[in-house]
């Protein structure tokens, strides 16, 4: 299927565009509070919910996590944050832990919005429960770690109610410098685009150790190391750059070839530590993408560059955002690009420099879609990018070219391989 057909598979709202509604969702009035329940109290989940609290009218009123210690840490953080914002501490009745915590959160009548920040393997399962509850949903990427989960997510997309908003965590699109250059690229500032080069080079994730923990527990706490839990680095981390490429080109890749492997890392996980992928987009536009995830020496660099008949565009996480050529342009709003600690890697996604206000602006747009009733559903768009990353991953594992159709027909399937009831 082509991209238009793919995006329409989920629902009329699946493209992520705002759809005007005659009335407001859940009877909200402008500036009213949205009661947020955080599912997954780890580092990234805490950062995003903190951003919602500080930058919008949303209030964190409930928490859920598989592990009691993470739940307790989340409660301590948000009780302190709520106090500084003049809000009530989190009620004990809205604290849920264990393998069924996501169902308890979805079933609570005291929550309007569920933020899904669990390991990627669980995203689609948790998305299904949240959507079925009728609540609004913010789901971190990726939307599925294999083709079976991606198909399931598209079916879930069809069941999103007209007044529900479902957001996918591709915050880079909302970064002011990136949004500004994207508008110019999509308007044709580069002319016909011939090729794209991109990279995501980051340090290795730090080990999370807990005394007396079982092998299954350590695997869950170090989910970034685990192929089934994370989808590998291409699907879990590099997805942000590949999503930007899809967005700027207005298409998903048609096929890919790739190499890579596990050349440096020696820990117990099974994710690769490097990829080199050639994605081919419509009109034979090639994306040359490379990534690394190892080392602790502070090396970090992520971004992409597009080359067209009339100019080239540089779109980095850190550094000048600009167009060279006939329609030369450079982002110059210093108020929106703080330089303190710029260019440093942020494992929790709280970047400075060009991404400094990405979370803030994305969160504000999402909450406005809820309070105004202009709901949107980004599931299918999120699935499209997830499948694009799976395409590169599959080509790397198989060591031969994989087409989009091949992926959908023969893509690998992952299982958890443990019983979560041991954590009840």
Q: How far is CA 235 from the centre of its chain?
A: 10
First to last CA, the chain: 43
402 Cβ partners below 8 Å, 6+ apart?
255, 256, 257, 391, 394, 395
Nearest one of 147, 177, 131 to 14, comparing CA atoms: 131
121 Cβ partners below 8 Å, 6+ apart?
145, 223, 228, 229, 230, 231, 414, 416
Host H or E run for residue 225: none
The CA-atom distances, in angstroms, between 72 and each of 76, 92, 95, 287, 399 are 6, 11, 9, 44, 45
- Exposed/middle/buried for residue 79 (C-beta within 10 Å: 0-12, 13-18, 19+): middle
Nearest one of 289, 88, 132 to 198, comparing CA atoms: 289
Rounded Cα gap, residues 189 and 85, in angstroms: 44
Place of tokens 């150790």: 209
175-357+386-409 folds as: Dihydrodipicolinate Reductase; domain 2 (3.30.360)
Rounded Cα gap, residues 117 and 127, in angstroms: 11
Strands (DSSP E) found in 79-208: 95-97, 113-116, 136-139, 166-168, 193-202
201 Cβ partners below 8 Å, 6+ apart?
290, 291, 292, 293, 299, 300, 301, 302
The CA-atom distances, in angstroms, between 73 and each of 176, 205, 375 are 32, 20, 32
Q: Judge whether 199 and 301 are in contact, CB under 8 Å.
A: yes
Rounded Cα gap, residues 39 and 78, in angstroms: 13
Whether the link from the prior residue into 142 is cis, omega within 30° of 0, is: yes
Q: For the chain, list residues with pLDDT below 50.
A: 10-27, 30-31, 336-340, 345-346, 348-351
> pLDDT tens digits for 12-66?
333 333 333 333 334 455 447 999 999 999 999 999 999 999 999 999 999 999 9
Rounded Cα gap, residues 185 and 245, in angstroms: 11
Nearest one of 173, 212, 166 to 377, comparing CA atoms: 166
Would you kindly state where each structural domain of the chain is located, as residue ranges?
Answer: 3-172+367-379, 175-357+386-409
The answer regarding whether domain 3-172+367-379 maps to CATH 3.50.50.60 reads no
CB-based burial, 363-378: b 16+ in 10 Å, e otherwise: bbbbbbbbbbbbbbbb
> pLDDT tens digits for 403-423?
999 999 999 999 999 999 999
- Identify the three-state secondary structure at position 114: strand
Q: What is the pLDDT of residue 32?
A: 72
User: What is the value of pTM for the model shown?
Assistant: 0.90
CB-based burial, 30-43: b 16+ in 10 Å, e otherwise: eeeebbbbbbbbbb
Q: What is the pLDDT of residue 269?
A: 94
Nearest one of 125, 103, 98 to 37, comparing CA atoms: 103
Using the 8-state DSSP alphabet, how is residue 201 labeled?
E
Q: What is the pLDDT of residue 192?
A: 98
Q: What is the pLDDT of residue 297?
A: 79
Q: What is the pLDDT of residue 71?
A: 98
Q: Judge whether 14 and 165 are in contact, CB under 8 Å.
A: no
């Amino acid at each position: 299927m082509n991209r238009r057909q793919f995006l329409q598979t989920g629902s009329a709202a699946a493209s992520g565009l705002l759809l005007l509604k005659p009335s407001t969702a859940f009877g909200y009035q402008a500036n009213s509070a949205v009661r947020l329940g955080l599912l997954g109290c780890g580092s990234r989940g805490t950062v995003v919910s903190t951003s919602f609290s500080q930058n919008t009218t949303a209030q964190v009123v409930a928490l859920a996590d598989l592990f009691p210690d993470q739940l307790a840490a989340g409660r301590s953080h948000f009780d302190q944050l709520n106090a500084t914002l003049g809000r009530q501490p989190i009620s004990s009745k809205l604290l849920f832990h264990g393998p069924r915590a996501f169902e308890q959160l979805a079933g609570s009548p005291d929550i309007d919005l569920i933020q899904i920040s669990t390991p990627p393997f669980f995203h689609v399962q948790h998305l299904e429960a949240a959507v079925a509850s009728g609540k609004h949903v913010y789901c971190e990427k990726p939307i599925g770690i294999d083709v079976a989960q991606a198909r399931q997510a598209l079916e879930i997309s069809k069941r999103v109610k007209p007044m529900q908003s479902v957001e996918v965590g591709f915050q880079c699109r909302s970064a002011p410098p990136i949004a500004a250059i994207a508008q110019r690229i999509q308007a044709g500032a580069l002319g016909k685009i011939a090729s794209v080069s991109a990279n995501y080079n980051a340090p290795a994730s730090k080990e999370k150790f807990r005394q007396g923990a079982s092998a299954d527990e350590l695997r869950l706490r170090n989910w970034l190391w685990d192929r089934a839990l994370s989808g590998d680095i291409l699907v879990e981390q590099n997805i942000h750059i590949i999503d930007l490429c899809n967005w700027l080109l207005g298409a998903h890749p048609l096929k890919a070839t790739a190499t890579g492997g596990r050349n440096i890392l020696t820990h117990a996980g099974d994710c690769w530590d490097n990829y080199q992928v050639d994605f081919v987009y419509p009109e034979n536009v090639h994306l040359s993408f490379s990534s690394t995830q190892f080392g602790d020496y502070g090396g970090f660099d992520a971004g992409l560059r597009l080359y067209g008949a009339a100019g080239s565009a540089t779109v980095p996480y850190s550094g000048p955002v600009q167009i060279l050529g006939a329609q030369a342009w450079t982002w110059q709003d210093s108020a929106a690009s703080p330089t303190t600690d710029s260019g440093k890697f942020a494992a929790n996604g709280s970047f400075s420099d060009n991404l400094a206000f990405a979370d803030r602006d994305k969160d504000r747009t999402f909450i406005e879609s809820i309070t105004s009733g202009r709901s949107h559903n980004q599931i299918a768009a999120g699935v499209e990018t997830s499948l694009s990353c799976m395409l590169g991953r599959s080509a790397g594992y198989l060591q031969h070219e994989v087409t989009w159709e091949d992926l959908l027909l023969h893509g690998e399937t992952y299982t958890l391989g443990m019983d979560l009831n041991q954590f009840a």
